[in-house]
Amino acid sequence: MSLEYNRKNITLARNLRKNATNQEKHLWYDYLANYKPRFQRQKAIDSFIADFYCHEAKLIIELDGSQHYTESGFKKDKRRTEILEGYDLKILRFTNAEIDREFSWVCECIDFAVEASLREGGGTAKP
């Protein structure tokens, strides 16, 4: 299934890239920017914008700030996850605190998820 997206989200995605959180910058510049297979930042998918997306591994990485831990936030994230999983995508979620305090562990989790996904899908493993 090819990924759909709302064209109106392209401008918003560009703005989110320009105004990334400290945690998004840290994960991007200190790990994902040169990752193989390639990740994209603020990728428009369906009516959402994924923080980080790897097409080859069919993986989305979301960094969650405090707004995600309200009743409304939980409901929105649950629905969002259901829709994105409908595209045969896997979603990894990390808190901002995990990026700040457990960065090496976060990177290990990403490696594990990418490698597992590539094995399942037959893509190219990380060198």
Q: How confident is the model over 96-112, as pLDDT tens digits?
A: 999 999 999 999 999 99
At the top level of CATH, which class does the domain 9-121 belong to? alpha beta
Q: Whole-model pTM?
A: 0.83
User: Residues 115, 120, 121, CA angle at the centre, nearest 5°?
Assistant: 95
| Distance in angstroms (rounded) separating the CA atoms of residues 33 and 98 | 19
Residue 61 in contact with residue 49, Cβ under 8 Å? no
Using a pLDDT cut of 70, give the percent of the chain over it: 80
Mean pLDDT throughout 54-66? 89
Q: Please state the rounded mean pLDDT for residues 74-91.
A: 88
Between 127 and 120, the more confident residue is 120
Q: What is the arithmetic mean of pLDDT over 29-44?
A: 96
User: Does residue 91 carry a pLDDT above 80?
Assistant: yes
User: Which residue did the predictor score with more confidence, 114 or 66?
Assistant: 114
Contact 28, 52 (CB under 8 A): yes
Q: Mapping DSSP to helix (H, G, I), strand (E, B) and coil, where does residue 40 land?
A: strand
The mean pLDDT of 34-48, rounded to a whole number, is: 93
Spatial distance between the Cα atoms of 70 and 78, rounded to a whole number of angstroms:
12
Residue with tokens 């829709």: 83
First to last CA, the chain: 28
Q: What mean pLDDT is reported for the chain?
A: 86
Q: Are 91 and 81 in contact (CB under 8 A)?
A: yes
Domain segments of the chain as ranges: 9-121
Read off the tokens for 77: 């994230």
